[in-house]
């Protein structure tokens, strides 16, 4: 429901008529507007102190362009923007429905199918947002609208333009809402990179809030809440069993232990949530060791915060090349000193101190304990079942671990010899058989760690007119010929590793020809692919 315009408010902005106010916050004011066809739209007008900053305008323009690539299912579609207007503004689809925060405040916690629909709707939105290479950064109940047609997530990605403008987001402040911030977001800006895993953490906190009416790390102040996020297990009372496991994984302290948005969606729709310890996701931090890491579901990788840069090859045109996927920040220990530390949190608008995590935890990095080892001071040993196989698989899919690419049907591994014109199958020995899966949105560029005839090489599809296709080494540029999607087969290989079909969106599925003893690519219609692939961990890249 909109409010009347106030004295001094403009009644027109560009080609839009302003007819009411929808709300306001630290970034600006949101107006209800009408476009030239009299369709209702929501218009976010930026605050004057941001509007006068050239750095902000450039970032705002970039983030709007990225946000416009997000599919509009479960999100409010970005319709228009004018970063050069005074003041700058953003136009999005008007969603006629209350926010999740209003629904919970007025009607109480959700249960049953209503709660599950919210969880699925937000996970669907994050899958679309991350698939476009965008990170929301400020997911909270106020940014989730409950519309007649389903859940709509708003304000995705734009927070980065505000957060990254250092003149207004000062050293000790950041954009966000404390109760929904992932632990890594309390790192100093130069030590922590915000990744899609932070949105997944926020998803867990929002779903827990929807089920109980309170946040899972609820404290009596911003500092208390932040401390609980860093050191305490979440309070998940109110969650039904069907949602408890996905939310536990989403709220893992270490971003590397969280599933991706697509994995969350698979869990929610397929009921295939992985086994997790029955106790909270993370025990308390001890004085000498970080918390034990639970297993994480295998699936597609996290989206980099921005498209990787690289050269464009002569035969494979594309704007950018791959880069290693972001690794989550390392944990910090020394929680035994927390009680002796005075915590000061500056909360301005919706911001909190960048340096809070250091002040809470003492500041020195501490590696996580070995799988199955007891956590000092936690009061009970960690689960004895090792989580390493799934954790290693997730690391491969995030681009932080080297891998062999195994073909179970022929028990061979892909190889790229420096003297070879095509990708071959081999016994898996040597650097020629080691690759890196570099995430790019929901796709991958597959980089050889041996290199090709011209030096650095990635896998690409070569189409020969009237002569079929092959998989060849090419320059590491992100193009339609070098982007591959992993399609889960729901089967395991001989070592119980997940298997995937390898698909190129432009040309089809990658398959092995026993006659040619070579890989080829083709569209296969409704027929199942003949060849699957699994990944064997070979350690840090």
Catalytic residues: 138
224-227-229-232 Cα dihedral, nearest 10 degrees: -100
Question: What span, in angstroms and rounded, lies between the C-alpha atoms of 413 and 225?
Answer: 49
Question: What span, in angstroms and rounded, lies between the C-alpha atoms of 297 and 258?
Answer: 8
Question: What span, in angstroms and rounded, lies between the C-alpha atoms of 384 and 380?
Answer: 11
Question: What span, in angstroms and rounded, lies between the C-alpha atoms of 25 and 140?
Answer: 14
Contact 161, 57 (CB under 8 A): no
Beta bridge partners, 437, equal: 446
Contact 396, 437 (CB under 8 A): yes
Q: Can you tell me whether residue 312 is helix, strand or coil?
A: coil
Rounded to 5 degrees, φ, ψ at 454 are -100, 10
Question: What span, in angstroms and rounded, lies between the C-alpha atoms of 371 and 362?
Answer: 24
Return the residue matching tokens 């290199």. 451
Return the residue matching tokens 């937000």. 122
Two tokens at 153? 């997530």
Two tokens at 40? 């209702």
Q: Kindly state the DSSP code that residue 260 receives in the 8-state scheme.
A: P
Q: Can you tell me whether residue 341 is helix, strand or coil?
A: coil
Question: What span, in angstroms and rounded, lies between the C-alpha atoms of 299 and 203?
Answer: 17
Return the residue matching tokens 């022929």. 410
Two tokens at 42? 């929501």
Contact 87, 14 (CB under 8 A): no
Return the residue matching tokens 């301005």. 348
How many C-beta atoms lie closer than 10 Å to residue 177's C-beta? 21
Query: Sheet containing 78-82: which strands, arranged edge to edge?
Result: 12-13, 16-24, 28-34, 40-46, 89-93, 78-82
Q: Kindly state the DSSP code that residue 327 receives in the 8-state scheme.
A: P
Contact 51, 119 (CB under 8 A): no
**Closest of 200, 218, 196, 199 to residue 209, by C-alpha:** 218
SS3 content of the chain, % helix, strand, coil (to 5): 25, 25, 50
């Amino acid at each position: 429901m909109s409010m009347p315009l106030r004295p001094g408010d403009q009644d027109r902005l560009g080609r839009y008529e302003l007819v009411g106010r929808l709300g306001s916050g630290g970034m600006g004011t949101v107006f209800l507007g009408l476009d030239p066809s009299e369709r209702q739209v929501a218009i976010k007008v930026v605050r004057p102190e941001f509007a006068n900053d050239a750095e902000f305008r450039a970032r705002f323009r970039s983030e709007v362009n990225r946000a416009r690539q997000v599919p509009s299912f479960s999100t409010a579609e970005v319709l228009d923007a004018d970063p050069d207007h005074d003041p700058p503004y953003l136009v999005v689809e008007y969603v006629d429905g209350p926010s999740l925060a209003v629904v919970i405040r007025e009607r109480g916690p959700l249960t049953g199918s209503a709660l599950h629909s919210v969880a699925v709707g937000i996970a669907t939105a994050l899958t679309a947002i991350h698939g476009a290479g965008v990170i929301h950064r400020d997911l909270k109940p106020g940014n989730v609208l409950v519309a007649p047609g389903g859940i709509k997530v708003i304000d995705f990605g734009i927070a980065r333009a505000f957060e990254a403008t250092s003149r207004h987001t000062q050293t000790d402040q950041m954009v966000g809402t404390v109760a929904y911030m992932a632990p890594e977001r309390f790192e100093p800006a130069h030590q922590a990179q915000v990744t899609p895993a932070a949105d997944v953490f926020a998803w867990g906190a929002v779903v827990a809030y929807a089920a109980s009416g309170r946040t899972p790390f609820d404290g009596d102040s911003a500092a208390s809440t932040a401390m609980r996020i860093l050191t305490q297990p979440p309070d998940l009372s109110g969650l039904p069993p069907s949602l408890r496991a996905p939310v536990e994984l989403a709220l893992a302290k270490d971003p590397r232990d969280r599933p991706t948005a697509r994995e969350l969606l698979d869990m929610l729709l397929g009921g295939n949530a992985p086994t997790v310890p029955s106790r909270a996701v993370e025990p308390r931090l001890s004085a000498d060791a970080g918390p034990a890491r639970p297993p994480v579901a295998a699936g597609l990788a996290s989206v980099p915060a921005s498209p990787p840069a690289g050269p464009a090859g002569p035969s494979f045109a594309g704007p950018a090349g791959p880069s290693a996927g972001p690794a989550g920040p390392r944990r910090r220990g020394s929680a035994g000193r927390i009680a002796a530390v005075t915590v000061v949190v500056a909360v301005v608008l919706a911001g909190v101190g960048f340096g809070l995590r250091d002040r809470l935890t003492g500041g020195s990095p501490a590696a996580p304990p070995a799988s199955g080892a007891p956590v000092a001071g936690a009061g009970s040993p960690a689960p004895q079942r090792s989580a390493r196989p799934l954790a290693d698989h997730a690391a491969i899919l995030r681009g932080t671990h080297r891998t062999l690419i195994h073909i179970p049907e022929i028990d061979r591994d892909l190889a790229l010899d420096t003297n070879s014109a095509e990708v071959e199958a081999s016994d898996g020995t040597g650097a020629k058989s080691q690759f890196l899966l570099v995430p790019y949105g929901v796709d991958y560029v597959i980089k050889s760690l041996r290199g090709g005839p011209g030096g650095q090489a990635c896998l690409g599809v070569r189409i020969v007119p009237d002569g079929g296709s092959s998989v060849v080494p090419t320059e590491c540029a992100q193009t339609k010929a070098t982007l591959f999607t992993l399609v889960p087969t729901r089967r395991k290989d001989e070592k119980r590793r997940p298997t995937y079909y390898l698909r190129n969106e432009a040309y089809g599925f990658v398959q092995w020809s026993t006659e040619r003893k070579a890989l080829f690519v083709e569209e296969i219609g409704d027929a199942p692919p003949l060849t699957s692939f699994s990944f064997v961990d070979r350690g840090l890249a």
